[in-house]
Amino acid sequence: MGLVDNTPASAQTAYPDGNVSPGPALGGRVPLISWVQAGHAAEVVDLLHPGDGFEWIDTTCQIRHHTYALRVMGDSMAPDFPNGSILIVEPDMEPQPGDYVIAKNGDDEATFKQLIKDGADYYLKPLNERYPIKPLGQYQVIGVVRELVRRFR
C-alpha cells in the first residue's frame, strides 16, 4: 500500500523533498535590552528605533508595541534555556501558571523563572534543581516569555 502525500502543491514545488515548508507571516524585529532595562522595559522600548545602535532580534511570534528580547544570564533555567540564549518577552500579556516569566523585585532586579501555582500561592521556579523555588511575594511579573531564539552560528 502506498503513502499519500498531503503536502500542499505549492510547498511541494518550493520544497521538493517535503521536509520543510514556509512558516506563517508573523513576527518582526524587537530590541535586545539588558536585564537592568528589563525592570523599565516599556519606557526603554518606547525610546528605541531600528538603527539606534542596539541589537535587534528577528522573531516569528506576533509582536506588540512593547515586545523585547533578553539574553539569558546564568544556568538557573538550564538545560532548556542555556546561558546566552535569547528570549522574546511580551510585557502586555497576562501571565498564567506554567508560563515562563520575567519578574522584578522591589529593587528593580529582574529574574527569569517559571510561574507555578500551589493552592492560592504563586512561586517562581527555576528549572535547574540546584536553585530554590521562591515565593512570588514581592516580585512582580513584568513579561511572559513567548519564544526562545536559538542561534547556531
**Sorting pLDDT into bands at 50, 70 and 90, what band is 23?**
low
Helix, strand, coil abundance in the chain, percent, nearest 5: 10, 30, 55
Q: What is the pLDDT of residue 115?
A: 98
The band of 48, judged by pLDDT with boundaries at 50, 70 and 90, is low
**What does the alpha-carbon distance between residue 112 and residue 143 come to, in Å, rounded to a whole number?**
10
* Cβ 45 vs Cβ 54: under 8 Å: no
Pick among 3.40.50.720, 2.10.109.10, 3.40.190.10, 3.40.630.40: CATH of 27-149: 2.10.109.10
Task: Give the mean pLDDT of 62-69.
Answer: 89
**What does the pLDDT look like over 109-123, one tens digit per residue?**
889 999 999 999 999
Residue 106 is predicted with a pLDDT of: 77
Q: Is the pLDDT of residue 26 over 70?
A: no
Q: Are 32 and 56 in contact (CB under 8 A)?
A: yes
> Can you give the pLDDT at residue 81?
94
Smallest CA-to-CA distance from 75 within 125, 127, 40 is with: 127
What's the CA gap between 21 and 7, in Å, rounded? 9
Mean pLDDT calculated for residue range 128-146: 94
Q: Identify which has the larger pLDDT, 9 or 30.
A: 30
Strands, E assignment, 42-133: 56-59, 68-71, 86-90, 100-104, 110-118, 121-125
**pLDDT beyond 90 at 27:** no
**Where exactly are the structural domains of the chain?**
27-149
Are 26 and 62 contacting, i.e. CB atoms less than 8 angstroms apart? yes
Q: 66-111: per-residue pLDDT in tens?
A: 898 999 989 999 999 999 899 999 999 999 999 999 998 877 788 9
pTM greater than 0.85: no
DSSP three-state, residue 139: coil
**pLDDT value for 114:** 97
